[in-house]
Amino acid sequence: MASLSAERRGLGGGAPGCGPLIPPLSETARPLRQQIFDRVRAAGQIARVELAKELSISPASVTTLTSELIERGFLEEVRAPREADTGRGRPAVALGVRAAAHFVAGIKLSDREHTAVVVDFAGNLIAGEAISRQPGAMQLSDIVAASETLLDRVCAKAGLPRASLSAVGLGVPGFVDCPSGVVHWSPVLSDRHVPLAAAAAQRLGLPVHIDNDANLVTLAELWFGAGRRLSDFAVVTIEHGVGMGFVINHRIFRGSQGMGMELGHTKVQLDGALCRCGQRGCLEAYVADYALVREAQTALNLTHRENQSVGALLESLFDHAKAGNVAARSIFHRAGRYLALGLSNVVNLFDPELIILSGERMRYDYLYAEETLAEMQAMMLNTGRPAPRIETHAWGDLLWAHGAAALALHEVSDGLLCPPREMAAQ
């Protein structure tokens, strides 16, 4: 059963800390000081004795390693709340991340709007900003310039100079090779095989890490949202395209070349509808907004409104469906059936504990109506076990930028706490 969680009271629903809440003894390959730091950040604040207990190490080891992290300015001692605190005696002391130790920015570039956030080392939001733009692909120089303009605006809003940032996370739709920083194809770029990370780093004067935008939504859920305590879950995004991110053992999975989990470009129809990637029969070509608009222009005779924005045409389609228009309802129903097919394949392949449907299009409830979910279950393997939970999260656009910030935080933390030799061994 899908449950809609629209614009909650902030990422994580008010839960303390940020980052994956990984069970003890499941991360023994990572350096111990990094495990300690990550656990403190995930908890928000935690006592040394609890750290020792959770990591199954001696209190002396915790004291030694946390003293080093405090000396390096990554952690600090904070007063811990306790029940029935009378104010007598020494106050309880816990550890927390020194929030001002580092700041990072996250930027999401799209063909409708660019968004950005600045967060501190503890993951707290400092500022957010958005810039609307005209749809269409851009040259590399133009998109890097737009990134610089947006970054300067969000830094001004945060009251921080750009040079105070330790890194920038940058997300775009399309086929992104995260390790190399190359975008092989994106609807926001006019060229293919673009070295976006290197070009942005040179322009901004900061380390830049890039990823596919669906992976960024997944990182946002992993670091701030519903996926913090889950070992395995999937996020399917439905916006201008269809994307997917997948977490396996508390870590995002990108594939051997960094471009796995392209659910939107799995084929659901031989020689089918034309997808914006240039191929035919992709799932995205039946579910994404441009696919719905294409059908609406024909079925509802909206060809005379071609100059209207995609958003306006989608709203018109949705209004017609809500008013009982049979053609409009059939368009959403068909898209829902294709979505059910894609989701059933995700379940059959990966058996996730949770599937999160995310993105602005999740306001259109026809896409996850009861009959759609029932059809998904009918196409799943019949094992007698219950289907995975499905939740719909109709977050705003800043969610994507939060995921980009999580990517930057991860890279900064690993660079500071994991020496090169240890990083190479992971």
Q: Domain-by-domain residue ranges, the chain?
A: 17-82+89-100, 101-219+399-425, 229-396
Lowest mean pLDDT among 77-86, 146-155, 276-285, 378-387: 77-86
How do residues 310-351 score in pLDDT, each as one tens digit? 778 888 888 888 888 888 888 988 998 999 999 999 999 999
User: How high is the pLDDT of residue 7?
Assistant: 37
Tokens describing residue 399? 């969610």
Domain 101-219+399-425 class in CATH? alpha beta
Q: What is the CATH number that goes with domain 17-82+89-100?
A: 1.10.10.10
C-alpha–C-alpha distance, residues 46 and 51, integer Å: 7
Confidence of residue 396 (pLDDT cuts 50, 70, 90): low
Provide the 10 A C-beta neighbour count for residue 320. 20
- Distances in Å between the alpha carbon of 409 and those of 152, 174, 418? 19, 22, 13
Tokens describing residue 289? 């907004």
Mean pLDDT of the chain: 86
Q: Which helix (H) or strand (E) holds 252?
A: strand 251-253
C-alpha–C-alpha distance, residues 310 and 295, integer Å: 12
Work out the average pLDDT over 413-420.
82
- Distances in Å between the alpha carbon of 261 and those of 21, 253, 358? 23, 8, 15
Tokens describing residue 80? 């811990």
Tokens describing residue 30? 């990572």
User: How high is the pLDDT of residue 5?
Assistant: 41
User: How high is the pLDDT of residue 276?
Assistant: 86
Instruction: Tell me the backbone φ, ψ of residue 312, rounded to 5 degrees.
Output: -65, -40
For residue 50, which amino acid is it?
A: E
Query: In Å, how far from its chain's centre is CA 155?
Result: 21
Task: Output 116 or 82, whichever has higher pLDDT.
Answer: 116
| Domain 229-396 CATH assignment equals 3.30.420.40 | yes
How do residues 248-276 score in pLDDT, each as one tens digit? 989 999 888 777 888 999 999 999 999 98
Sheet with 208-212, edge to edge strand ranges: 125-132, 113-120, 103-108, 165-172, 208-212
Tell me if 17-82+89-100 shares its fold with 229-396: no
Confidence of residue 81 (pLDDT cuts 50, 70, 90): low
181 in Cβ contact with 198 (< 8 Å): yes
Q: Which helix (H) or strand (E) holds 125?
A: strand 125-132
Q: Which helix (H) or strand (E) holds 60?
A: helix 59-71
User: How high is the pLDDT of residue 152?
Assistant: 97
User: How high is the pLDDT of residue 253?
Assistant: 92
Confidence of residue 2 (pLDDT cuts 50, 70, 90): very low
C-alpha–C-alpha distance, residues 76 and 70, integer Å: 6
pTM of the model: 0.85
User: How high is the pLDDT of residue 241?
Assistant: 83
Confidence of residue 110 (pLDDT cuts 50, 70, 90): confident
C-alpha–C-alpha distance, residues 426 and 418, integer Å: 10
Q: Which helix (H) or strand (E) holds 356?
A: strand 354-358
User: How high is the pLDDT of residue 418?
Assistant: 78
By percentage, how much of the chain surpasses pLDDT 90?
A: 55
User: How high is the pLDDT of residue 307?
Assistant: 64
Work out the average pLDDT over 119-126.
96
Report the SS3 class of residue 118: strand
For residue 16, which amino acid is it?
A: P
Nearest to 103, CA basis, from 37, 167, 157 = 167
Work out the average pLDDT over 287-308.
76
Confidence of residue 91 (pLDDT cuts 50, 70, 90): low
